[in-house]
Amino acid sequence: MRTPGSIALTSALRSQRRTMIDAATLAFLKEQPAAALTFKALEQLTGLNRRALLRVVHSKAELLIAVWWTEYERWCSALVKAMVPYNEDKIRQLLIRYIRDEPAFHHLRAALYPVILPALSARLRTDWQARFDQLSAKTGAELDAGVTWLVPGDGIGLVAVIEGALAAEQTRITFINVGDPPPDVHLEWVTRFVLAALAGLQSQAPRRKTAAAKHRLSKWGSATP
């Protein structure tokens, strides 16, 4: 029979192993794509056998979505710090960092829709999508409140646009029939695209704020007659 002390120890051990498994997964994703992750690889990285791993994580998809959540939280926090107060150099440095030094973020983002979400149960997929939507909305609201020239609703759009611009598939679409561009071209395209989008919003701020006050913003955020 388990005592309260033994239950607490079991919970502590489970938490310790989960932290170790998450760290091992992140280390793997810095080198290889998410689709390549296997329980055999996790056994080698953690020293735990498959049975011990499955007592902590129920499936590869559940593990990957949890690690993506942590990375997405970190991305949203970094975006707010770069944007509030508005600082173009900080935004540029953020983009450079995520393109050059955050391979796990890209591997998870690339696998999210084709690999991770389809492998989750419908209930888990709905639950996780709700969590991501709530975090995106919270981050967008922080941008709206902290950047003086944004109108309400701009922030959540920027969260999606900037994160999407970082995704490798966006660059492949832009350079279709050319093949994958080298990293320096990807970096140049992303920074120019994001900063141009922000500059456009900033230059149109007075007109857009007036239009928003009169409820004359289109669904795309532009002022209408």
Burial of 130 (0-12, 13-18, 19+ CB in 10 A): exposed
The three-point CA angle 188-191-193 to 5° equals 100
| pLDDT at 177 (0 to 100) | 43
Burial 216-225, CB ≥16 within 10 A → b, else e: ebeeebebee
170-188: b or e for each residue (b if 16 or more CB lie within 10 Å)? bbeeeeeeeeebeeeebbe
Mean pLDDT of 23-32: 96
pLDDT tens string 120-159: 999 999 999 999 999 999 999 999 999 999 999 999 999 9
The pLDDT score that the predictor gives to residue 215 is 65
**pLDDT of 170 over the 70 cut:** no
CA 75 vs CA 48, 139, 154, 162, 207: distances in Å: 30, 10, 18, 11, 31
Q: Which one, of 149, 14, 129, lies nearest residue 65 by Cα?
A: 129
pLDDT digits (tens, 9 = 90+) for 176-185: 444 555 556 6
d(CA 149, CA 201): 8
Identify the sign of the CA torsion 133, 136, 142, 144: negative
Other C-beta atoms within 10 Å of 138: how many? 14
Other CB atoms within 10 A of residue 205 CB: 16
- Give the integer Cα–Cα distance in Å for 126 and 121: 9
Position 213 pLDDT exceeds 80:
no
- Rounded to the nearest 10 degrees, how much is the dihedral formed by the CA atoms of 78, 80, 86, 91? 30
Task: Find tokens 């209408």 and name the residue.
Answer: 224
Q: What is the pLDDT of residue 180?
A: 55
Nearest to 63 by CA among 120, 14, 106: 120
